[in-house]
Structure 1
């Protein structure tokens, strides 16, 4: 099934364009629960069938397994040419004999370990290694991955290396991906980035990125890609035991998510549909990433992102103080097209 193509947005000053809904591939590498090769391939091919052709990955995801699974799926669909984003900063090497698995929450991964390398040569080698796993000779987007403890290295060696790769045409667009906004905002203001990937800091549950990151990106012409729009799952299922920010949710956070769910239910809208549509509403946001483990989840997220939502829902959320007064909300639209927040 091929859905009507969704509108595309350019990443910063680059020529790279992405659709409004992208596929995050960490779950396909066995994040928190195992995923077999067949399910992973089905999810990737289903995404392409639904018109979702922006895949975000990283060497960190399953110590290379996510990239390898993308490469295998694309080899089975040689006509496909999705926009691929990967990341640098963590390189991989064989796990020493007898060493414990370097799992980081991933299950069923190859016997490899991660290590940091922000040097010029390390950045170039990381990209080359990713290209081999992906089965490609070029990648569209490369992001500095979680440089929270390496800000000086970003300015000294990592960013210049990425800028050089962009100039050489090996990379189409460059940026950084993090779970915080403060450092991303500094990068946007100090560096020539096309895009930033911000995970979890602009969602239906919290909108802190609108205070610092979004204004900087508007000023500099930098695009935003949002990940973690379900805040580790609590905006998909706000129930006791739900996770927020990769850990069990505190009672106050769960109560807020439950309140969001009640407003959505009153309007006959699934909470996860509201979460997807809300995250992509601000014009600075080029795409919203959602992680999936199987083809059925891809279908569900594509359907949720295309669901029309009444204006009254957003008005009620504002009136109850559940979203900020100045937050952008999506206009009503018919339920056509492949899954994308506008």
Structure 2
């Protein structure tokens, strides 16, 4: 799979990145459990695939995603040459603490679970849980993330979160090298458009997560009635059905259009797709490469949900 520059980091990544969130199970978010052995086998398959990019987080399943990945890495003696692994520091799941000390503890836990002594890319995860001023304060969590980079424990740093207005404030600080946005640049929801523009203009690499919106843009409205980890509004469901019909009319799988809506965007370095079964690895690569007629894109451009149903 051809590689793209990850902003100014010097890292090169494929247009697809496999996401480690679903590997942790997390039925409250994804609606189903994932047996650990199947999760490990899925990571093994990723490591043998042409997709040399994997993203996870300390908080996914209380560290379970990182443990699963660490098991698979240990079997082959660590990261393969050219493979990029990113993870994220998280607040304390019990207390909500998101201090500098917690960022350091989160990093240390990640390194232990992954079996690594340093990281290529480390992101501040879901900073919407603390005030922006607190995050950016002297001696706060962002300052600690910068210190971790200065110490060489993480080569590059970024920010990963949801609300586009808040994420734009982090982009504007000039501190970060990578922005990860999720569920807000999909066939249904276009709320991250200006955020992606701002990050791209500022020289940040953009990673776009959850092109399936948690599953509905892969399985369809009948097979999965949730968008962004919550019950989908009837208006959203109606638009998904229209998108499904448009794709069917051109003989294109819904999931292929959902992935390529993101990968065809020149502003986006890589699109993060969660998988929970080994066979989904090869299937995702096929979907990303499937030819899609240009006329379908013209139709899909008009089928996003109304803006008042976007996540923002």
Greater helix content? 2
TM-score clears 0.5:
yes
Map of 1:26 onto structure 2: 21
The aligned residue for residue 155 of structure 1 is: 136
**Structure 1 regions of 5+ residues with no counterpart?**
1-5, 92-112, 325-342
Does structure 2 retain, via aligned residues, the 8 Å contact 1:202–1:229?
Answer: yes
1:142 aligned to which of 108, 119, 122: 122
Does the CA contact (< 8 Å) of 2:59 and 2:90 recur in 1? no
Which position in structure 2 is the counterpart of 1:55? Answer: 54
Query: 2 CA distance for matches of 1:124 and 1:186?
Result: 23
Q: CA deviation at 1:286?
A: 0.8
CA contact (8 A) 1:11 1:173 kept: no
1:41 Cα offset (Å): 1.5
SS at match of 2:61: coil
Q: State the partner residue of 1:85.
A: 86
What do residues 257-287 of structure 1 show as CA deviations (whole Å, max 9, x unaligned)?
Answer: 1111111111110010011011122222111
1:190 matched to 2:173? The reply is yes
SS of the residue 2:62 aligns to: coil
User: 1:237 maps to which residue?
Assistant: 219
**What is the CA deviation profile of residues 144-201 of structure 1, one whole-angstrom value per residue up to 9, with x for unaligned ones?**
1111131222211111111122222211221111122111111101232111111100
TM-score (norm 1): 0.82
CA drift at 1:79 = 6.0
- Find the residue that maps to 1:90 and give its secondary structure: coil
Matched, 1:220 2:202: yes
Unaligned stretches of 5+ in structure 2?
Answer: 306-312
Q: Deviations over 1:6-49 (max 9, x none)?
A: 22223332222221111111111112122223211111111122
Alignment match, 1:263:
246
Give the match for residue 75 of structure 2.
76
RMSD of Structure 2 on Structure 1 (CA)? 1.7
Whether 2:101 is the aligned partner of 1:121: answer yes
Q: Using a 3 Å threshold, how does the CA distance of structure 1 residues 12 and 158 change in structure 2: closer, same or farther?
A: farther
What SS is found at the alignment partner of 1:183? Answer: helix
* Partner Cα separation in structure 1 for residue 51 and residue 300 of structure 2: 29
Larger mean CA deviation between 116-125 and 32-41 belongs to 116-125
User: Which residue matches 2:309?
Assistant: none
Partner of 1:181: 164
Distance in 1 (alpha carbons) for counterparts of 2:152 and 2:298:
46
Change (3 A) 1:79 1:64: closer
1:7 aligns with 2:8: no
TM (norm. structure 2) is 0.89
Aligned residue-pair number: 295
Q: Secondary structure at the match of 1:312?
A: helix
Check conservation: 1:11, 1:223, Cα contact below 8 A. Answer: yes
